Amino acid sequence: MKSQDFRTDNMSQIVARVHPDYRPVWESVPPCNQAALANFFLPRSSGTDFLCPTRPKVVKWYCPFAAQRQFGSGHRYCINVFVGCAHGCHYCYAVGYGPDRPVCKQDFRKLIERDMADLERFDVPPAPVHLSNSTDPFQPLEVVTGHTRYALEQILTHRHRFTTVTILTKNPLLPVQYKYLDLFSALAVLPNGHPRKRFYSETKLPAFQVEVSLAFWREEAGRAYDPMAPSVQERKDAILALRKADIPVVLRIDPLFPRSPMPNGTTLAHFGLPEAQTLEDLQSLVAFAAQCGVRHVVYSPVKIVQPRRRRLGATMAALRSVYQSMSAPIKPVWHGGSWRLPPEIANQHIIQPFLDICQKTGVKAKFCMTNLVETP
Ligand code: SF4
């Protein structure tokens, strides 16, 4: 039997079945948009009491793992172009659930076309889209598949269904070398009739931006913590090229690591770890951000993610010991599948010194979740 689309006239019953975590988004919009969101995001037949936004295959709800009450700004999309990531950062939170090696999504082009057609069919109101939160859209697979380029072309074709388009990458040299910049510039322009065109014109906020992750200043630190990602120099060169082409860039000095000496006098070397970010490194990174004219920098303290199907690697196991030592006599906080420093310790020893540098340099800094929810 063919499943029926949700209708506007019984929306109150449907909204009552939306999982309480997601319901505030539905409750914040009028019934016609509730029906559009329900038709795009919710499964038609589900035996569970509550409905979650699991329906789209590629243009997915961002982000099912985050606390949804923080998404008061409404629905937003994430397109994870690939599954897994070649960069192999030791601190990657996606290692908790991703495969060991990056792979393409089967029928990716067909699936994204279908999701885009559904956005049109159900007349879904525009929302921000992020590529990608658990893979790098410009990892080497992109050179052979062109899936990220195809996704961006689809977004451009359906530009009125999206507000800000954000790309997050550690490999910004790839789009510079392979001539993606014209596509980036085209995505920055909202077409006439776009429902938010006036908002962007009045606020002067960019409708397209590239977030580049560059947490280290010295190459040896990069090689120790994100060993297979592009070099620090390559990322710096690419950021300069993006800015020269007038592409808005956000610099993610993220994550932030503990520094020696730590509160109890120990050093990272005591735990067999190289220094990740000295204060001088952070000063150099923030000065580079200022020199390039990035929109702002983004930060968050490193989380130690416990992979689902394997043990912690040596680097993160050592970092967990650092966290235990810094937190003593209490324990690191276990939350959402990862260990974190107790907030007051993270603030005092990791975050505040970084914010002081940003303030002195005149660079705006945003905590990662704030950066996400404030992207319109
Ligand atoms: S680039 Fe991002 S997704 Fe890829 S391994 Fe590093 S942190 Fe994970």
Best residue among 79, 83, 136 to mutate for probing ligand 1's pocket (most ligand atoms within 8 Å of CB) is 136
What does the pLDDT read at residue 93? 82
Number of domains in the chain: 2
Determine whether the shortest distance from the Cβ of 136 to ligand 1 is under 6 A: yes
Could you tell me if 42 and 73 lie in one domain? no
Q: How far is CA 84 from CA 98, 112, 163, 233, 335, in A?
A: 5, 18, 26, 24, 22
**Of 235, 371, 183, which is closest to residue 295 (Cα–Cα)?**
371
Percent of the chain with pLDDT over 70: 95
- The bridge status of strand 338-340 relative to strand 127-131 is unpaired
Phi, psi of 294 (to 5 degrees): -70, 160
Lowest mean pLDDT among 59-68, 82-91, 255-264, 353-362: 59-68
Q: Which residue has the higher pLDDT, 101 or 4?
A: 101
101 and 73 share one domain: yes
Are 75 and 42 in the same domain?
A: no
Q: Is residue 17 part of a domain?
A: yes
Q: Is 90 in the pocket of ligand 1 (CB under 6 A)?
A: no
CA 59 – CA 155 distance, rounded (Å): 10
Q: Give the range among 88-102, 286-300, 317-331 with minimum mean pLDDT.
A: 88-102
The residue whose C-alpha atom lies closest to atom 6 belonging to ligand 1 is 89
Residue 3 lies in a domain: no
Paired with 208 in beta bridges are 165
Amino acid identity for residue 314 in this structure: A
> From ligand 1's centre to the CA of 83, what distance in Å?
11
Helix (H) or strand (E) holding 102: none
Report which ligand 1 atom has the smallest distance to the Cα of 88.
5
Q: Are 86 and 136 in contact (CB under 8 A)?
A: yes
Ligand 1 pocket, residue 89 CB under 6 Å: yes
Burial tier of 187 (Cβ tally within 10 Å: 0-12, 13-18, 19+):
buried
> Which residue's CA lies nearest to atom 4 of ligand 1?
85
pLDDT at 72: 58
pLDDT at 99: 74
Look up the pTM and report it.
Answer: 0.95
Cβ atoms 78, 133 nearer than 8 A: yes
Give domain status of residue 255, yes or no. yes
Q: What is the pLDDT of residues 187-233, one digit of tens each?
A: 999 999 999 999 999 999 999 999 999 999 999 999 999 999 999 99
Minimum-distance ligand 1 atom for the alpha carbon of 132: 3
- pLDDT number for residue 215: 98
- Whether 312 and 338 have beta carbons less than 8 Å apart is answered as no
What separation in Å is there between the alpha carbon of 57 and the centre of ligand 1? Answer: 21
- Does residue 1 lie within any of the structural domains? no
- Structure letter (DSSP) for residue 191: P
Helix (H) or strand (E) holding 213: strand 208-213
**Measuring from atom 8 of ligand 1, which residue has the nearest CA?**
92
Q: How far is the centre of ligand 1, averaged over its atoms, from the C-alpha of 209 (Å)?
A: 18
Q: Is residue 5 part of a domain?
A: no
Backbone dihedral region for residue 293 (phi beyond 0: left; psi -120 to 50: alpha; all else: beta): left
Q: Is 265 left (phi over 0), alpha (psi -120 to 50) or beta?
A: left
201 lies in a domain? yes
Both 78 and 220 in a single domain? yes
pLDDT surpasses 80 at 4: no
Q: 64 and 118: one domain?
A: yes
In a shared domain, residues 45 and 133: no
Q: What is the mean pLDDT of residues 173-198?
A: 97
**Structural domain range at position 38:** 10-53
Q: What is the pLDDT of residues 256-298, one digit of tens each?
A: 999 999 988 899 999 999 999 999 999 999 999 999 999 999 9
For residue 322, what is the domain's CATH number? Answer: 3.20.20.70
Q: Is 87 in the pocket of ligand 1 (CB under 6 A)?
A: yes
CB-side exposure of 334: number of CA atoms within 13 Å? 3
C-alpha distances out from residue 375 to 45, 130, 147, 209, 299, Å: 33, 10, 24, 10, 15
Tell me: do 165 and 306 sit in the same domain: yes
On whether residue 330 sits in a domain, the answer given is yes
CA of 248 to the centre of ligand 1 (A): 21
